[in-house]
Structure 1
Amino acid sequence: MGPDETGGPRPTGAPGGAFPPPDELLRGLDPEQLEAARSVRGPVCILAGAGTGKTRAITHRIAYAVATGVVPEQQVLAVTFTTRAAGEMRGRLRALGAPRVQARTFHAAALRQLSYFWGEAVGGPKPTLIDSKIKTVAAAAHACGFQADRTELRDLAGEIEWAKVTQIRPVDYETAVTKAGRTPPMPSRDVARVYEAYEELRGERNLLDFESMLELTMAMIHESPRIAEQIRRQYRYFVVDEFQDVNPLQKQLLDAWLGDRDDICVVGDPNQTIYTFAGATPGYLTGFCATYPHATFVRLVRDYRSTPQVVRVANTVLRGSGSHTTPPEHRLELVAQRPDGPEPVYTEYDDEPAEATSVARRIAALIDSGVPAREIAVLFRTNSQSAAYEQALGDAGVPYTVRGAAQFFDRPEIRAALHTLRGAAQGDGGAPMVQTVRHILQQPQIGLTDTAPEGRQARERWESLAALAQLAEDIAGQRPEATLADFVAELRARAATEHAPGFEGVTLASLHAAKGLEWDAVFLVGLTEGMLPIVYAETPEQVEEERRLFYVGVTRAREHLSMSWALARSPGGRRTRKPSRFLDGLRPASPSLAAQRGERRRKTARVVRCRVCGTTLLEAAERKLGRCLDCPSDYDEELLERLRQWRREVSTAQKVPAYVVFTDATLQAIAEQEPSSLAQLSRISGVGTTKLDRYGEAVLTLCAGGTPDQVLSGDREETP
């Protein structure tokens, strides 16, 4: 049996919780994973590089410890950083026969304990738990006489969060922020005032943020020997994943859980430390063996995720580090286990629109070659870079989803759908599951339609509901006997673990949001100085964190890896940008790049001027329309409506979102310019060669006065 993408053979075990023989649990682990799994007594430190199967190793270790009688299931607490990771861990443990092991985030574990002991340890009405500080920070800033926009409020909230996880009180903030070398979002004295006002308001309103929740849980354990004894009797066997991301507050809570015991296993990768700006420190991981000199130390370096070509890039990125703070024994160099794949691609562009357009075309080609859209990602340093790729993918007819927006199960349309589905499941009379789900989702109060509506927000809502409908079809395909109640149970489990159904679209995500994920093909874009490393990374430590962020991006790719950068922001702009320093030693020698650049200059994006006032157009929406957004425009409203009606019919027939045919902006531009030939139509932004061949004659017929019915009937007559 060959390895899977998790770093070894598929798990074996009994879904019902009955264990196979202990040695069977360890079958298929590689030598290092086997060493980790057999080290059932703590302390244990596992350094696990990207794609080396760390989750596989630690879940098999837990299952093996339970199966051999080292620890009962109920006394294990596995801690990780996201509900998604915790859910994945619980799923694997169920498959290995250990379904009662508790796998939770720090916050979920603390909240459960605090809620249970609230009456005894604290008393009074339970506070309201808030997952966002923005509203309270806004009120605190207003009370201090400051007016801040939403971006400034987010920065203030982040700064307060950093202070709280590093256990800095408002009175000490000014001194601490100077010592830490941080640049606060406003003068440090003002941040301290807002921080103090925030804490006062939080107390007055009986609000509990995540940091205070950890603090109260820790204080409860320290101040009540009876509660401490009860918690420590319940949990005596600890596993902590992503230990490089632990902050001081989380470490103090972990120490409170442990007491004077040392049955703890920590897992992490110092090369993936990318949250020090939020208070995380890899020091707890790299210093673990100094704290526990008798600890077992295991290194996982066999990379089962990526091809040798991708692994070579990852290792080279880290060799270029100027930092020598990581001890030699904690430096990991990955060893590829997969067969050879394509060489990474490095591309320089004259401007950002050219970069986005080319990336979209290459993605379309990958999809045509058989790579599923959901297995492709475009990763960038900041969320502001997303818009250009949304536009370019839309123009190329490629569906996409933006990661990092509202959590799937928190979206209003999904919550409404779940409520209705749960009610229907109670009276399920055995009707076919797929048809029932689709019928419910198409109810007016839910709103799923046959085709995607116009407008980004409406389209995102439609895609969410369509993903639910597709999930029902997937489940029915795997389990034809599944009922509506089974579907609702699956949704409940997914909601608890933030395991959203997959969108059949390319993923757009920031590098931070991509951590923990992987795709067959990854496009790392915008790799210029000032963007990666980001312009405000000034100290050597900050630059090295940016290097680690680049490393995280590289190691998300299984097979196809593309890296690109643009020399100018806009067509015709000065090409003054420089490729990221992290590309040094990676990209081909300059002559080949120069040859590529010469070829691209012949194909460079043309300067587009407003057809009304003659101004050079820079923004994508203006270039598409061929005019400034505030310049007057006359267009045939009836033509635009005919185009929209035709697009709706085509998208329904082809079972794709309407924007994949043509975006709203492209239809608007066609209606304004009324092309009378394929050559004129091809000059409109968003009408590439593929769309010209597929839809060109139909669009020209509509522009000449034809109706959608005439165009569509002609298409049907030509269809064999």
Structure 2
Amino acid sequence: MSLEALTKAPALRKGMLGTALTINSQEYDDVTLKGAGHSDAWEFTEAVKAAWTHFNLAALEKEAAQLDRILAGVLALAAPSRYPSACQIAPLLDAARALDSSLLSKLNAEAIGPEVAARIAPVRKFATDPRTARANAITTFVAAELDRWKDFFDTIESKPLTPEQRLSVVVDEDATLVLAGAGSGKTSVITAKAAYLVKAGIRQPEEILLLAFAKNAAEEMSERVEARSGVPIVARTFHAISYDIIGIVEGSKPALADHATDDMAFTNLIKQILKDLVYRLSEVSTAIIQFFAHFLVEPKTEWDFKTKHDFYTHMESQDLRTLQGEKVKSYEELQIANWLYENGVEYEYEPVYEHKVPETGRRDYQPDFRLTESGIYIEHFGVRRQKTADGRERLVTAPFVDRDEYLAGMDWKRKVHAEHKTILIETYSYERQEGRLLTGLAEKLAPHVTLNPRPVDTIYDRIVELKQVDDFSKLLGTFLRKFKSGGYSLQDCETKSDRMKLGKRARAFLDVFAPVFEEYQKRLEGRIDFEDMILRAAHYAETGLYVSPFRHILVDEFQDISQSRARLVKALKAQHPDVRVFAVGDDWQSIFRFAGSDIHLMRHFGREFGGTFDDEAGVHRTVDLGRTFRSVDQIAFAARSFVLRNPAQIEKQIVPAGTATEPAIRVVSVSKGEDEAKLNEVLAALSAAMAPEAKPATVLLLGRYRFIEPDMPGLRRRFPRLKISFKTIHASKGLEADHVILLNADSGRTGFPSEIVDDPLLSLVSPEEEPFRNAEERRVMYVAMTRARHTLTILASNARPSSFVTELRKDPAYAISTAPGAEPEAHICGECGGRLLGVTGQDGRIWYRCEHVQHCGNLLPACPSCGTALPRHAEGTSEVRCECGASYPTCPECKDGWLVERSGSFGKFLGCVRYPTCTGKAKIANGDRPAITKPRRRKRI
């Protein structure tokens, strides 16, 4: 039995037959010796106790130096001299647990005595509950450090730092994320952090890497740090540090490609590569032509949508332009037209039928296609085949199409051709669904038409002429840059395409992209582009070819970080166990996804950059600056509420810069053609409200797009007391003004939110898209709102206000000021669910036209009585009523129309105002006039 195995000192118990001696051991069950002489038993027990105590103390003495080091570290946590970050305390915890496991847990308190037991107790407690010990140490350190550096925080900037800013400076976790909302003073935080690290002796200037995204931001930061603190720390862009790393490893810096800094030169290079590949007349040229002919636009049809409105909205976002040059109404028509063009079959799109069809109330019949040489007509029918329960087959239409009416229209067209003995070739949506639309068309045309395929280079010249190459080259270029910067492979893209079910279009695109990328890499000829720069530097850091001197990495505008930049930061952090990442950003202002920024890196900051402590990964600290030095309460709170409608945004508290004494946010409705006049009115009001002795107020005009910039020289001449500037919202980040005016907050393709959707192909090389609708556009709106100090004025179309404006107006929580009656009543189109918009016709009258002009064509006159408003169906009645008081009989055929008196060959009758689109009619009972109620009074709107 070994001394190490004893669990307590031997015990003696006197009895009638002598003394019983019991020994407790881990190795055996308790051993009891009975009937011993008491004196002998006592002497033996004392000898065992002495040996046992000596053994325990000797074991402890062997580890005395290690114990002293660990104990000193644990006791120092009571008043730490440095922030007890995970990376700093983790080695102490590992050592404490190792010693506890190998020795301390095996020592017996009785054997070593109370003094020694008390000495090792702090180490054992720390090993058991290190998180509490570290948390208490952090609290103690932060309180003391804030007090110790109070004078520094009071004077480092022109105004004393806020409590939140001070906290962010002294917190020094493995990874620290500072949530810096708009106008919260993030630059002050970075400046103070860099100066503090050096002045506190935590780091030498050369151990600090200060990273910015733009060259001018880096220069400004360097100047500010040195001016405020006297500490010479050079801020660098990601590209600059990457270029330096490459130079150190390779001995010299490779030449930068000419197109790296010139977007136009880059796009022209892609265009030239495409052209050269086509003219080689290889399989690649065929793949390129096939993509342009059949996959240039997203191949969605009416079957992919639940409503006409959704379908029409999608179609309007696509430019369904054929190789011949006309715009068609569906993707399947585009496929047919381009196949005809490729194969040299001359055609007309939607010609008027060559025979006059007897009066039917319909518009002139226009078949989809007429082949000019043969006179054959092609009609493409949007029907699919469906099996019924009894096994029979029936034709069905898209969800929002009236099946019976559509099938009747198909029969009518067949009869027209049969009566006039013209040849009709029919194609169907189910043929495309089954993958044989074009092969089927070729078979049907074979008896009538000889194909004469156009040469590939001829078709490509036509594509260039239509300027389709320009946009496609930009798409290819954007894809290429994202592909390289994200470190993707073609296999990655193919796998993601399968997962996202992007189908044949993605495969056709990758068939073009692969040879373009290969050729692009060849043409670099040893030079380097910006994407190579960061990835090569990250690789050198990951493999240890570059040894980093940096122990603190400070990153500005962290919400804009991309996967490749994050990879570089992680590689530099991994080189040394004590490297800290200090990131400052605002996920509410993440608006550069198109440039590769990945908001998920910020939302999962701990997982991506955090440390490890007590078997917990992702250890990090988040500090919310909260306070804004810019916007008054109404603007700050409205902007916060607006952006947080997306539940994925990180919630932050806001302390506004001041209290507004009058409405700070206004929506001004603008009628068609009044944009300039309304802007002048708003500027005039701002100028007039200024006190005579006041210095000029700053006014920032913001637009979602550059092209809506107004006449700035003219505005500056007219309003000399205002300092007026214009920026796109993206370019306005970091700026502020007394007053902000947001222009053209309208709905539409180039409205705000923008309805120009990124091509789905870019999702193959982009961060995962956020599920919340308009997630990034909502953040763009937040950026626009928070540029304003005192007032925000939003100019929005009276007829087509954006969904953002509608939301701001409807929710009283936003406290938006709107002129009485300024918000127009929304009229929904009964034909497709879009909006009916008021327009002035060539006759000077007001008409209400569906927003989906090309597809829907619903057109209604204004009320005949007042001439301005639109009569609408009155709930529970057979009347259509106008707000002016007039009422009319409802049309029995359509949802929007009403009946007015008309004259026909059989006399007067009631006909729909939408004639000839709608042929609804009714008789005039007993020769009476229609039941039309005159208005009580005329009302202008």
Judging by fraction of residues, say which structure has more strand. Answer: 2
Q: Report the Cα offset of residue 365 of structure 1.
A: 4.4
d(CA) in 1 for partners of 2:494, 2:672: 40
Per-residue deviation, residues 264-291 of structure 1 (Å, max 9, x unmatched):
1111112112122333222222222343
Flag the structure with larger Rg: 2
Q: How has the CA–CA distance of structure 1 residues 141 and 397 changed in structure 2, closer, same or farther, with 3 Å as cutoff?
A: farther
Q: Which residue of 1 aligns with 2:732?
A: 514
**Do residues 524 (structure 1) and 742 (structure 2) align?**
yes
Does structure 1 conserve the Cα–Cα contact (< 8 Å) formed by 2:753 and 2:802? no
Q: Name the SS of the counterpart of 1:560 in structure 2.
A: strand
d(CA) in 2 for partners of 1:50, 1:288: 20
Partner of residue 52 from structure 1, selected from 177, 184, 202: 184
Does structure 2 conserve the Cα–Cα contact (< 8 Å) formed by 1:364 and 1:396? no
Partner of residue 270 from structure 2, selected from 137, 142, 147: 137
d(CA) in 1 for partners of 2:802, 2:245: 52
Alignment of 1:291-306 (within 5 A): 291-292=610-611, 293-306=618-631
Q: How has the CA–CA distance of structure 1 residues 157 and 357 changed in structure 2, closer, same or farther, with 3 Å as cutoff?
A: farther
Q: Which residue of 1 aligns with 2:534?
A: 214
Q: How has the CA–CA distance of structure 1 residues 228 and 333 changed in structure 2, closer, same or farther, with 3 Å as cutoff?
A: same
Q: Which residue of 2 aligns with 1:308?
A: 633
Q: How has the CA–CA distance of structure 1 residues 117 and 126 changed in structure 2, closer, same or farther, with 3 Å as cutoff?
A: farther
**Do residues 550 (structure 1) and 868 (structure 2) align?**
no
Does structure 1 conserve the Cα–Cα contact (< 8 Å) formed by 2:186 and 2:584? yes
d(CA) in 2 for partners of 1:217, 1:543: 35
Q: Which residue of 2 aligns with 1:585?
A: 811
Q: Report the Cα offset of residue 336 of structure 1.
A: 0.6
Per-residue deviation, residues 682-713 of structure 1 (Å, max 9, x unmatched):
xxxxxxxxxxxxxxxxxxxxxxxxxxxxxxxx
Q: Report the Cα offset of residue 341 of structure 1.
A: 5.2
**Do residues 95 (structure 1) and 227 (structure 2) align?**
yes
- Which runs of at least 4 in structure 1 moved beyond 4 Å after TM superposition? 124-129, 148-152, 177-184, 367-374, 536-539, 575-579, 586-594, 605-610
Q: Name the SS of the counterpart of 1:305 in structure 2.
A: coil
Aligned partner letter, 2:753:
P
Does structure 2 conserve the Cα–Cα contact (< 8 Å) formed by 1:43 and 1:265? yes
Q: Which residue of 2 aligns with 1:560?
A: 791
Q: How has the CA–CA distance of structure 1 residues 285 and 126 changed in structure 2, closer, same or farther, with 3 Å as cutoff?
A: closer
Judging by fraction of residues, say which structure has more helix. Answer: 1
Q: Report the Cα offset of residue 69 of structure 1.
A: 0.6
Aligned partner letter, 1:535:
E
Per-residue deviation, residues 133-174 of structure 1 (Å, max 9, x unmatched):
223222223234364454443343223222233322345435
Q: Name the SS of the counterpart of 1:158 in structure 2.
A: helix
Q: Which residue of 2 aligns with 1:197?
A: 516
Q: How has the CA–CA distance of structure 1 residues 216 and 294 changed in structure 2, closer, same or farther, with 3 Å as cutoff?
A: closer
Q: Report the Cα offset of residue 535 of structure 1.
A: 1.8
Partner of residue 289 from structure 1, selected from 586, 603, 606: 606
Partner of residue 26 from structure 1, selected from 144, 153, 168: 153
**Do residues 390 (structure 1) and 707 (structure 2) align?**
no
Q: How has the CA–CA distance of structure 1 residues 164 and 127 changed in structure 2, closer, same or farther, with 3 Å as cutoff?
A: closer
Q: Which residue of 2 aligns with 1:279?
A: 596
Q: Report the Cα offset of residue 255 of structure 1.
A: 1.2
Q: Report the Cα offset of residue 589 of structure 1.
A: 9.1
Aligned partner letter, 1:383:
R
**Do residues 237 (structure 1) and 558 (structure 2) align?**
no
Alignment of 1:436-475 (within 5 A): none
Q: How has the CA–CA distance of structure 1 residues 587 and 144 changed in structure 2, closer, same or farther, with 3 Å as cutoff?
A: farther
d(CA) in 2 for partners of 1:44, 1:141: 46
d(CA) in 1 for partners of 2:598, 2:502: 15
Aligned partner letter, 1:595:
G
Q: Report the Cα offset of residue 559 of structure 1.
A: 1.2
Q: Which residue of 2 aligns with 1:117?
A: 249
d(CA) in 2 for partners of 1:46, 1:107: 23
Q: Which residue of 1 aligns with 2:200?
A: 68
Aligned partner letter, 1:357:
A
Alignment of 1:211-360 (within 5 A): 211-223=531-543, 225=544, 227-229=545-547, 232-233=548-549, 235-260=550-575, 261=577, 262-290=579-607, 291-292=610-611, 293-319=618-644, 321=645, 323-326=646-649, 330-340=650-660, 342-360=662-680
Q: Which residue of 2 aligns with 1:378?
A: 701
d(CA) in 1 for partners of 2:585, 2:502: 26
Question: Using CA pairs below 8 Å that are at least 6 residues apart, which structure has the higher relative contact order?
Answer: 1
Per-residue deviation, residues 335-379 of structure 1 (Å, max 9, x unmatched):
113343542343343435313321134224434655877821111
Q: Which residue of 1 aligns with 2:212?
A: 80
Q: Name the SS of the counterpart of 1:77 in structure 2.
A: strand
In structure 2, the gaps of 5 or more residues are: 1-147, 155-159, 279-459, 612-617, 759-769, 825-837, 844-941
Q: Report the Cα offset of residue 252 of structure 1.
A: 0.7
d(CA) in 2 for partners of 1:384, 1:100: 42
Aligned partner letter, 2:546:
A
Does structure 2 conserve the Cα–Cα contact (< 8 Å) formed by 1:129 and 1:208? no
Q: Which residue of 1 aligns with 2:473?
A: 153
d(CA) in 2 for partners of 1:139, 1:104: 34
Q: Name the SS of the counterpart of 1:96 in structure 2.
A: helix
d(CA) in 1 for partners of 2:718, 2:171: 48
Q: Report the Cα offset of residue 25 of structure 1.
A: 2.2
Q: Name the SS of the counterpart of 2:674 in structure 1.
A: helix
Does structure 1 conserve the Cα–Cα contact (< 8 Å) formed by 2:699 and 2:738? yes
Q: How has the CA–CA distance of structure 1 residues 125 and 48 changed in structure 2, closer, same or farther, with 3 Å as cutoff?
A: closer
TM-score (norm 2): 0.45
In structure 1, the gaps of 5 or more residues are: 1-20, 401-503, 569-574, 599-604, 611-720
Q: Report the Cα offset of residue 237 of structure 1.
A: 1.2
Question: Which segment drifts farther, 264-273 or 333-342?
Answer: 333-342
Per-residue deviation, residues 399-458 of structure 1 (Å, max 9, x unmatched):
89xxxxxxxxxxxxxxxxxxxxxxxxxxxxxxxxxxxxxxxxxxxxxxxxxxxxxxxxxx
Q: Percent identity, please.
A: 22
Q: Name the SS of the counterpart of 1:228 in structure 2.
A: coil
**Do residues 43 (structure 1) and 366 (structure 2) align?**
no
Does structure 2 conserve the Cα–Cα contact (< 8 Å) formed by 1:140 and 1:194? no
d(CA) in 1 for partners of 2:757, 2:839: 34
Aligned partner letter, 1:113:
I
Aligned partner letter, 2:595:
A
Aligned partner letter, 1:218:
A
Q: CA RMSD in A?
A: 4.0
Does structure 1 conserve the Cα–Cα contact (< 8 Å) formed by 2:624 and 2:653? no
Alignment of 1:695-706 (within 5 A): none
d(CA) in 1 for partners of 2:819, 2:511: 50
d(CA) in 2 for partners of 1:287, 1:579: 28
TM-score (norm 1): 0.57
Question: Which segment drifts farther, 273-282 or 191-200?
Answer: 191-200
Does structure 2 conserve the Cα–Cα contact (< 8 Å) formed by 1:519 and 1:556? yes
Q: Report the Cα offset of residue 555 of structure 1.
A: 0.7
Aligned partner letter, 1:228:
Y
**Do residues 104 (structure 1) and 236 (structure 2) align?**
yes
Q: Which residue of 1 aligns with 2:281?
A: none
d(CA) in 2 for partners of 1:142, 1:372: 58
Q: Name the SS of the counterpart of 1:289 in structure 2.
A: helix
Per-residue deviation, residues 174-204 of structure 1 (Å, max 9, x unmatched):
54357569999x8663366246424533433
Q: Report the Cα offset of residue 248 of structure 1.
A: 0.8
Q: Name the SS of the counterpart of 1:130 in structure 2.
A: helix
d(CA) in 2 for partners of 1:324, 1:112: 41
Q: Report the Cα offset of residue 517 of structure 1.
A: 1.7
